[in-house]
Amino acid sequence: MEPQAAEKTLNENPLAGTPLPASVVVLKLQDYGRRPVAEQARLKGELETLAAKALEPLGAAERIVLDAPDALAVVVLDRPQAALELAERCEAAAGELPLCVGINHGPVRAANDPLRGLGIVGDGIATGMVLAKAATPGRLLASRPFHEALESSKSRRAADLAAAGELTDANVRRHELYTLKPKVARPSGRRALLILVLGSAAIVGLPFAARRFPRAPALNAPAEPGTAEPTAPQATVAKAEPAPVAEPPKPAPVFKPKPATPKSASVRFYVRPHGYVYIDGVAKGRTPPLSRLEISPGKHAIEVRNGHYPPLKLQVNLSRAEEMTVTHTFVMPRPREEGLIPRWRRKLGI
């Protein structure tokens, strides 16, 4: 990645020395490489305009913007809450833009490449790109180090992130994922004030209403002293035969509607070179050609196997109509290099 800031900005930045922890927000366009060139240019222009508007609350000394063909990465120094708010502003303004957001907190440092010039490298950016690649539009993914950085900064926003499963990248590294909890609609300021005023008026006016409309005496209450009860004139009343009691009609049967079938969640697979998909231990087919699979909402165990390669295992908790993307490349772990003495022993047969 190459920074959009000038060389002077990087040289004056504290990242020019030893690696320092920073929050990295990666804004990536989904399926960018599969689109026509004209559409790629249009989407990249919209992404740059959106990022420029969302970066206005941050000062130039607080962030560094890096550019990639299909993404932008923003390095925010010492303010994890500001990084989360930046990601929320970008998601809110995305509209129809297929924007995937990943947030990580990790070490970064300035680097000078002879071919690409000044730039920034580090695990903070690399992990952020992995999370953005696994995210879906409208559902950002954050790493566990970023969640811990929010808690360390004593920010209340740490409670807004909920666990969202695990992810294994191409280097067989596991990442614990977090995402934003759904927001609960709250009444507006005017509506809350109106409710408060009406409730206060009801509490204050209750004693006056009780005085104005006293409660009627009970039917079996004794008469007050000095008050004679009226005597009804005696009369001879003929006893009437009791009328036949009609049976009450039987209530109509109540038909309970069947509960609505929960809308399925979906999982997309981008696996190289290929793999066999298992959901909760049940084989679902080979990918490719399998690219999309619908499963019921809830907790599931997803596993992708490919011969002797280490399998990809995920524990997910999907909600209704949620879409998830699983991207993985099978890579065989490098063999451990033997030392000099064990190598000679093996050759001599000792």
Token pair 């009226």: residue: 230
Grouping H, G, I as helix, E, B as strand and the rest as coil, residue 24 is strand
Give the per-residue pLDDT at 264. 83
Q: Where are the domains of the chain?
A: 2-180, 265-329
Grouping H, G, I as helix, E, B as strand and the rest as coil, residue 328 is strand
CB neighbourhood size of 263 (10 A) = 13
| CA 251/CA 249 separation, integer angstroms | 6
| CA 239/CA 242 separation, integer angstroms | 9
Q: What mean pLDDT comes out for the span 222-240?
A: 51
Lowest mean pLDDT among 10-19, 34-43, 172-181, 257-266: 10-19
Cis check for the bond before 273: say yes or no (omega within 30 of 0).
Answer: yes
Q: What mean pLDDT comes out for the span 124-153?
A: 92
Amino acid type, 190: R
Tokens describing residue 229:
């009860």
pTM of the entire structure? 0.52
Express the helix, strand and coil content of the chain in percent, nearest 5 each. Answer: 30, 30, 40
CB neighbourhood size of 24 (10 A) = 30
Q: What mean pLDDT comes out for the span 49-60?
A: 89
Name the class of domain 2-180: alpha beta
Lowest mean pLDDT among 133-147, 248-262, 268-282: 248-262
- DSSP letters of 40-101? HHHHHHHHHHHHHHHTTTS-GGGEEEEEETTEEEEEE-S-HHHHHHHHHHHHHHHTTS-EEE
| CA 74/CA 53 separation, integer angstroms | 13
Give me the helices (H) in the chain, please: 7-12, 37-54, 80-94, 123-134, 144-152, 189-212, 340-348
27 Cβ contact partners less than 8 Å away, ≥ 6 residues apart: 47, 50, 51, 71, 72, 73, 74, 90, 99, 100, 101, 132
Q: Chain-wide mean pLDDT for the chain?
A: 79
Query: In this model, does residue 84 exceed pLDDT 50?
Result: yes
How many angstroms separate the Cα of 322 from the Cα of each of 87, 123, 167, 198, 327?
20, 29, 17, 41, 17
Give the per-residue pLDDT at 330. 83
Query: In this model, does residue 148 exceed pLDDT 80?
Result: yes
The CATH topology of domain 265-329 is Immunoglobulin-like (2.60.40)
Share of the chain above pLDDT 70, in %: 71
Closest CA to 26 of 77, 81, 90: 90
